[in-house]
Amino acid sequence: MNLAHLLDDQLRHRPEKVAFEGDGRSLSYAQLARLSENFAASLTAAGYGPGDRLAVVLPNVPEYALAMFALWRLGAVPVLINPQLTGRELDYILRDSQARAVILPEALLGVLAPLRSELPNLRAIVLGVPADKDLNFAGLAAIPGQCPVAERHGDDIAQIMYTSGTTGTPKGALISHGNLLANARSGVERLSVTGDDHLFCILPVFHAFAFTAALVIMPLAGGSVSFEYRLSPKKLTEHLSDPRVSVMVAVPSLLSTILRFPSELKLSAALRCILCGGGPLPPQLEAAFVQRFGDLVRQGYGMTECSPYAAFSPLDRPSKPGSIGLPMPQGHKLAVRDPISGNFAAPGEVGELVVSGPHIFKGYLNQPEATAQAFVDGWLRSGDLGYCDEEGYFFLVDRLKDMIIVGGEKVYSREVEDVLLTFAPLREVAVVGQPDPDKGEVVRAFVSLQEGATIGEEEIVRFARERLASVKVPKSVTILAELPKSATGKILKRELRKQFAPK
Amino acid sequence: MPQAALLQEVLEEPWRLRSGVEALLRPLRPSDLNLHWGLFHNCSTQSLYQRFFQAPERSKVTDSEVARFTNFDCSRELAVAAVQTTGGGPELGVVRLVHLGSDIFEFAVLIADPWHRQGLGRKLVQKAIAIAGAGQVRRLEGYVLASNRPMLTLCRQLGFALERLGGEGLYQVHLELAGDGRPTVTGGGPIAPADR
């Protein structure tokens, strides 16, 4: 079972059909198969083979698909990395994953440069003009070569996706070929995906939500994908009105953005559903969207660790406001348990959402303790609180984790706090989510200073910007004499939220 | 005055950890500054985070901050330390009770990492309940991170009710007392709704 075989059916039935396009380039299924085999053969010649880990730090471009299918064919393991990470974050992931090569655009060579003296065995495969000793992406794909699809077992790892952790250190989630295939098959059934579907994918593919939709579900069904990485009104308008677009993936903040577009905006007449994940969809927002564009939005729920879809609202009946839908079909289970006693909850009772089935990941790389903590009695813990109604629909209520969702991206308060606490002038730090009309929430930091320290908010933001991806950088910093604490000295963020709530 | 009575009730008590380490449970005093420094030093970042909801770098913890926990206002606060009776007597853990007003006290526990999973946390919370009960305290409450399942489980087993505080991964645990040290309500029911 190797995901590279997904192309076999499409080569037989629709070889000339465009599979992936974006940034002015496109790949038919036949071209994807040919070029990915060339690429895999070139990698073999360059000394890479089954089991090797290669980092992929690309935006949403067709070459993402080419790299994935080449690495799967080779039996190698792609390590997916957000191109917006800072050098510090990238350094950690490259070391932790022991990646032997990194596939990246020329524009990111500057971020990689300071790390290279410490990682002498790491080669760069560059989309664009490579430096000395580096390999050229297009060159590797252009050299004709043969490379049979490596035999892979369902439990063999197909990708490593890094997720932020509550302790501030990212964890590499190990997702197998079997995990992705099971989840994609279940997605094809729930969302009735066919070879006629065309997905518009503007959410980053290094996140599980977009990855499985664009790179597994669509090739499985024989559909096609338009990639975009520029969130400009012009680009967005072009894609949304593209008459081929039948499905798109979104986060709530993207729906808000679309709602602010002028009334002339017409969505593609073929658009049959907008899959919304990445955080709770406010019912008012859903209602406003439905009123203007029709009943297109279906909310879902998932996690990187379950490849990622755990639930989605069915398409054949009206959406239930506020619900994340029904558990995915084909053996995917979703349940509610009391987070402390472990008892399963009755309908309407709030507890922690837990997941099991063929889509559950194989653990975190190098972190057996974190892996053990992720499960309870064989169920994957979500850290989200919710309930199930009498009809089996699930609803989210709150988070057990201290986490902020910025435009669909999860930011753990602790990670930001731990980084800011390494700044010598700061004594105490508390990071909270502040409601934001565009992003849903943004990061806000409250700090107190060491005695005698005199720094301004701008310096603190600059310190954060040098060490954290932009999504995690506080939008605002407030300096206080002391942070509010309980009588025994515990920092109480609820007091900050009360005192500094936006008027 | 319940708080004055509280202090008088804290008698020294010998106690043995599961590993066999002999300890003395006794009130923490201002002269224990160095001992208490040692407790902080023996705590991992994670333990400090679970206690203070913040994990400062150790180099940033100042004398005056540690002194706040040994040199406190005895009319409204007390702390019981578990101190090893041999081997230089490091402080293994501490439970603290602070008067919040009327008959309500907040409690907090910190156990140094080498002495985790030896029954000391349970013993110190039981000690807090006993002290509170003897001091005619009506309610004992505390804040526990949602991720700190061992502490939440312990609190539920000891009869605390658990109330989830919305949006920040936090629970408030509370125990109503009859004034004679016995709980008047029993925890263990479903989680109370979020207080948002």
Q: A236-254 pLDDT, tens per residue?
A: 999 999 999 999 999 999 9
Work out whether the CA dihedral A348, A349, A351, A354 comes out positive or negative.
negative
Which residues, other chains included, contact B86 with Cβ-Cβ below 8 Å and sequence gap of 6+? Answer: B22
Shortest distance between the Cα of B91 and any Cα of chain A, in A, equals 18
Domain stop point among A108, A130, A152: A152
Q: What is the pLDDT of residues A1-28, one digit of tens each?
A: 999 999 999 999 999 999 999 999 999 9
Percent of chain A clearing pLDDT 90 (strictly above): 83
Task: Answer whether B156 sits within 8 Å of A400, measured CB to CB.
Answer: no
Q: What is the pLDDT of residues B18-57, one digit of tens each?
A: 999 999 999 999 999 999 999 999 998 889 999 999 877 6
Angstrom distance (rounded) from CA A27 to CA A16:
9
Rg (CA), chain A: 23
Among A371, A351, A360, A314, CA closest to A333: A360
Residues of B in contact with A385 (CB under 8 A): 164
Instruction: Count the neighbouring beta carbons within 10 Å of the beta carbon of residue A9.
Output: 15
Note whether B98 and B7 are within 8 A (CB). no
pLDDT at B5: 53
Q: What is the mean pLDDT of chain A?
A: 94
CATH of B2-138, one of 3.40.50.880, 3.40.630.30, 3.40.605.10, 3.30.530.20: 3.40.630.30
Q: What is the pLDDT of residues A127-183, one digit of tens each?
A: 999 887 899 999 999 999 999 999 999 999 999 999 876 666 789 999 999 999 999
pLDDT confidence band for B183 (50 / 70 / 90): low
User: Is there a domain that residue A432 lies in?
Assistant: yes
Note whether A430 and A478 are within 8 A (CB). no
pLDDT at A169: 77
Is it the case that residue B188 has pLDDT exceeding 80?
no
CATH of the domain at A484: 3.30.300.30
DSSP letter string, A207-266: SHHHHIIIIIIHHHHT-EEEE-----HHHHHHHHT-TT--EEEE-HHHHHHHHTS-TT--
Task: Answer whether A489 sits within 8 Å of B68, measured CB to CB.
Answer: yes
pLDDT at B1: 44
Task: Answer whether B156 sits within 8 Å of A340, measured CB to CB.
Answer: yes
Note whether A253 and A438 are within 8 A (CB). yes
Looking at the DSSP bridge assignments, the partners of residue B26 are B81
Ranges A427-441, A457-471, A489-503, most confident: A457-471
Which residue, among B54, B57, B73, would best test binding to A if mutated, counting the most A CBs under 10 Å from its CB? Answer: B54
Q: What is the pLDDT of residues A334-388, one digit of tens each?
A: 999 998 888 999 999 999 999 999 999 999 999 999 999 999 999 999 999 999 9
Is it the case that residue B192 has pLDDT exceeding 70?
no
Angstrom distance (rounded) from CA A464 to CA A419:
7
Which residues, other chains included, contact A364 with Cβ-Cβ below 8 Å and sequence gap of 6+? Answer: A171, A172, A173, A174, A370, A371, A374
Nearest CA in chain A to B148: A340
Question: Which residue shows structure tokens 């005698």?
Answer: A452
Task: Answer whether B168 sits within 8 Å of A494, measured CB to CB.
Answer: yes
Domain stop point among A100, A126, A152: A152
Q: Which domain, by its residues, includes A491?
A: 403-499
User: Is there a domain that residue A493 lies in?
Assistant: yes
pLDDT (average), residues A436-451: 91
Predicted model pTM? 0.88
Task: Answer whether A491 sits within 8 Å of B54, measured CB to CB.
Answer: yes
Task: Answer whether B190 sits within 8 Å of A338, measured CB to CB.
Answer: yes
Task: Answer whether B152 sits within 8 Å of A340, measured CB to CB.
Answer: yes
Nearest CA in chain A to B164: A400
A398 in reach of chain B (CB within 8 A): yes
CATH of the domain at A99: 3.40.50.980
Long-range contacts of A321-324 (CB under 8 A, 24+ apart): A321/A283, A321/A286, A321/A287, A322/A281, A322/A283, A322/A286, A322/A395, A323/A299, A323/A389, A323/A393, A323/A394, A323/A395, A324/A299, A324/A300, A324/A386, A324/A394, A324/A395, A324/A396
Distances (CA, A) of B51 to A91, A490, B146, B173, B194: 31, 7, 12, 14, 22
- Grouping H, G, I as helix, E, B as strand and the rest as coil, residue A331 is coil
Q: Which of A422, A487, A490 sits opposite B52 (nearest CB)?
A: A490
Nearest 5°: phi and psi at A45? -65, -30
pLDDT confidence band for A310 (50 / 70 / 90): very high
Distances (CA, A) of A413 to A136, A263, A419, A431, B83: 39, 38, 10, 5, 35
Is it the case that residue B59 has pLDDT exceeding 80?
no
A167 in reach of chain B (CB within 8 A): yes
| Beta-carbon pairs below 8 A across chains A and B | 96
- Where exactly are the structural domains of chain B? 2-138
* DSSP 8-state symbol, B14: E
Q: What is the mean pLDDT of chain B?
A: 85
Which residue, among B53, B102, B141, would best test binding to A if mutated, counting the most A CBs under 10 Å from its CB? Answer: B53
Instruction: Count the neighbouring beta carbons within 10 Å of the beta carbon of residue A471.
Output: 19
Q: Which region among A376-385, A456-465, B59-68, B160-169 has the lowest average model confidence (pLDDT)?
A: B59-68
pLDDT at B53: 92
Is it the case that residue B195 has pLDDT exceeding 70?
no
Angstrom distance (rounded) from CA B61 to CA B59:
6
Note whether A494 and B168 are within 8 A (CB). yes
- For residue A105, the number of C-alpha atoms closer than 13 Å in the C-beta half-sphere is 11
User: Is there a domain that residue A244 lies in?
Assistant: no
Among A6, A35, A37, CA closest to A195: A6
pLDDT at B8: 55
* Opening angle at CA A100, ends A99 and A101, nearest 5: 95
pLDDT at A282: 86
Which residue, among B124, B147, B149, B157, would best test binding to A if mutated, counting the most A CBs under 10 Å from its CB? Answer: B147
Looking at the DSSP bridge assignments, the partners of residue A11 are none
Query: Per the structure, how many domains does chain A have?
Result: 2
User: Is there a domain that residue A123 lies in?
Assistant: yes
CA torsion A235→A236→A242→A247, rounded to 10°?
Answer: 140
Task: Answer whether B147 sits within 8 Å of A401, measured CB to CB.
Answer: yes
Q: Which region among A162-166, A253-257, A466-470 has the lowest average model confidence (pLDDT)?
A: A162-166
Reading across the β-sheet that carries A77-80, which strands appear in turn? A135-136, A123-127, A101-105, A53-56, A77-80, A157-163, A171-176
pLDDT confidence band for A266 (50 / 70 / 90): very high
pLDDT (average), residues A381-397: 94
pLDDT at B64: 81
Looking at the DSSP bridge assignments, the partners of residue A25 are A22
Which residues, other chains included, contact A315 with Cβ-Cβ below 8 Å and sequence gap of 6+? Answer: A190, A191, A192, A272, A273, A298
Among A500, A492, A498, CA closest to A444: A500
Work out whether the CA dihedral A117, A122, A127, A130 comes out positive or negative.
positive
Which residues, other chains included, contact A500 with Cβ-Cβ below 8 Å and sequence gap of 6+? Answer: A444, A446, A478
Domain stop point among A152, A174, A203: A152
Nearest CA in chain A to B188: A341
Residues of A in contact with B68 (CB under 8 A): 489
Task: Answer whether B169 sits within 8 Å of A349, measured CB to CB.
Answer: no
Q: What is the pLDDT of residues A67-123, one digit of tens each?
A: 999 999 999 999 999 999 999 899 999 999 999 999 999 999 999 999 999 998 899
DSSP letter string, A39-63: HHHHHHHTT--TT-EEEE---SSHH
